[in-house]
Chain A
């Protein structure tokens, strides 16, 4: 049994009178791919937002690698090793592909404004390290040929992949992917599944929000299901797939069940 990397304990998130998450408990083990599924509005992205510090949890805790993330600033959480992608692509459009990733690699670097201004040896070294690392990531994800293109001019599929590459730039222990396959055709989904597995095999832990069931069944080690802010299932893909409550809440919708 590998160790627990992320643990949500009784996590509750309320917006005014609306309860978006209700006493959610969830564990992510090191090195696994955990898929978080559920109908629209079930609170999946809210989970990501609470983990990454966009929202402050109403109650409950988020334990990550020995730290409680609740109350920390967003960039500090990223620094501790949690990185995410966005459902609606939010790249830095006027930067090149490479610069997008380098911006993320900066998080673990020490040199600041003064070092950059005077070009201290450390600043120069870190710039070189960043560049090398960013290029490695782009190659790993398979979009290195686009390094010098502006992010806003990239084809859609490359933008989605760049989202993942940029998140990997922060050297995360845990990678949160928010619908990485949205808008993909079946061929692209297969490629993406391969990439995500490759990412996991390279030592990253992946928490994934996705709607496409075949993709989820194909790659995830475990599936957790949210419905109206409550976790209703958490097990291996095959067990979840046959859970009557899940079928009722989610898989019961014929169009999505394929």
Chain B
């Protein structure tokens, strides 16, 4: 097979299948992934932190955040270097409301998402008019600003952070426990599936086309009637929503939030996941999040130098394989029979 690429291979199988087969594939894949917490023995075991914790954070939460950031960077081509800010807003919302009110995690979730989206709109409205690299540096600054604010205002308890955040209440027989984080994994998995559903829905309809057009030629898009600012803000805000949701859950799982958890490095880590797997392609981004989330905990050497490795990933991938592991490249259907060279 010439020019083998995994994405096209997968897409081929998918396209050749009819609906029941597709449903079966989806159920089997989700089922297998849901069994991951039981696969912690042997080769996959992590020497540094407990396996069941590792696959929740970093792995699953990285995947979730990468999917969110990919809406901004991959779909609409805007470089957001302050993604950690939305994660922090979610986590602090959980921390603050979890301590000071009787609301539980699921009740705080929409509030956290809403606040993250609000921050997205407030940052996006003025700055999304800016050119790409200015936007990058402004978002970079914003990410740091949120951390500095958390460090210096009183209601976040400054550098000491907020501790004693409640865990999520049990869902029927599913109990959230610190020493056994399977249920957390399933919850994040559910959030990931919802995010994938959202992105796939939007991608094939008007918003997806608008983002794609903006990414490729913003001026031409606007002249073809795409309200570019509106769709850029939507993209930014949806990315923020996913980041905020991840933050709420992270706060509730970690039971503690503090400013040092939300440095610029987190934004870069997530960006590396997006870029490594294949910018713009959901499956690539997932693979990137899994590999870059998991490896540092599997291989001791990478653990200390994780940021160095991630920085190198950004440079090397961009220079040698800018499409990442699984490229976004769309296939052309039925092009062979139509005479490729007219």
Q: How far is the CA of A134 from the CA of B328 in the complex (A)?
A: 24
Contact of B217 among A90, A148, A149 (CB under 8 A): A90
B198–A103 CB distance below 8 A = no
Contact with A along B259-282 (1 / 0, CB 8 A): 000000000000000000000000
Q: How far is the CB of A49 from chain B (nearest CB, A)?
A: 10
A104–B335 CB distance below 8 A = no
Q: How far is the CB of B278 from chain A (nearest CB, A)?
A: 14
Q: How far is the CB of A171 from chain B (nearest CB, A)?
A: 10
Interface residues of A in 199-234 (CB under 8 A from B): none
Q: How far is the CB of A60 from chain B (nearest CB, A)?
A: 21
Contact of B216 among A95, A104, A109, A111 (CB under 8 A): A95
Chain B residues near A78 (CB-CB < 8 A): 223-225
Contact of A150 among B226, B231, B330 (CB under 8 A): B330
How many B residues touch the partner, as a band?
20 to 34
Chain B residues near A94 (CB-CB < 8 A): 212, 216, 328, 330
Contact with A along B207-239 (1 / 0, CB 8 A): 101101100110111111111100100100000
Interface SS, B side:
helix
Q: How far is the CA of A54 from the CA of B234 in the complex (A)?
A: 23
Task: Count A-side interface residues using an 8 Å CB cutoff.
Answer: 46
Contact of B212 among A74, A95, A146 (CB under 8 A): A95
A83–B224 CB distance below 8 A = yes
Chain B residues near A236 (CB-CB < 8 A): none
Q: How far is the CA of A104 from the CA of B223 in the complex (A)?
A: 9
Q: How far is the CA of A145 from the CA of B231 in the complex (A)?
A: 31
Chain A residues near B198 (CB-CB < 8 A): 117
Chain A residues near B219 (CB-CB < 8 A): 54, 90
| A73, A113, A149 interface centre (most CB from chain B within 10 Å) | A113
A84–B209 CB distance below 8 A = no
Which single residue of chain B is at the shortest CB-CB distance from A52? B223
Cβ of B3 within 8 Å of any chain A Cβ, yes or no, is no
Chain B residues near A146 (CB-CB < 8 A): 338
Contact with A along B187-204 (1 / 0, CB 8 A): 000000000001001100
Interface residues of A in 14-70 (CB under 8 A from B): 52, 54
Chain B residues near A74 (CB-CB < 8 A): 222-223
Q: How far is the CB of A140 from chain B (nearest CB, A)?
A: 18
Chain B residues near A107 (CB-CB < 8 A): 224-226
In the complex with contacts A146-B338, A149-B332, A99-B225 CB distance below 8 A: no
| A78, A116, A123 interface centre (most CB from chain B within 10 Å) | A116
Instruction: Compute the total of residue contacts between A and B using a CB distance below 8 Å.
Output: 108
Contact with B along A131-175 (1 / 0, CB 8 A): 000000000000001101110010100100000001101100000
Contact of A79 among B205, B225, B334, B338 (CB under 8 A): B225
Contact of B213 among A92, A117, A127 (CB under 8 A): A92
A117–B212 CB distance below 8 A = no
Q: How far is the CB of A65 from chain B (nearest CB, A)?
A: 16
Cβ of A251 within 8 Å of any chain B Cβ, yes or no, is no
A96–B330 CB distance below 8 A = yes
Which single residue of chain B is at the shortest CB-CB distance from A106? B206
Q: How far is the CB of B153 from chain A (nearest CB, A)?
A: 33
Which single residue of chain A is at the shortest CB-CB distance from B238? A113
Cβ of B16 within 8 Å of any chain A Cβ, yes or no, is no
Contact of A113 among B202, B226, B328, B338 (CB under 8 A): B202
Contact of B206 among A73, A75, A112, A145 (CB under 8 A): A112
Q: How far is the CA of A83 from the CA of B221 in the complex (A)?
A: 12
A123–B205 CB distance below 8 A = yes
Pairs A-B, 3 closest by C-beta atoms: A107-B225, A116-B205, A78-B225
Could you pull out 26 A-B pairs where Cβ atoms are within 8 angstroms? A54-B219, A75-B222, A75-B226, A78-B225, A83-B224, A83-B225, A90-B220, A92-B217, A95-B209, A95-B216, A102-B209, A103-B209, A103-B213, A104-B225, A106-B210, A107-B226, A108-B225, A111-B206, A113-B202, A116-B202, A116-B207, A117-B202, A127-B206, A145-B338, A148-B332, A148-B335
Residues of A within 8 A of B (CB): 52, 54, 73-75, 78-79, 83-84, 86, 90-96, 99, 102-104, 106-109, 111-113, 116-117, 119, 123, 126-127, 145-146, 148-150, 153, 155, 158, 166-167, 169-170
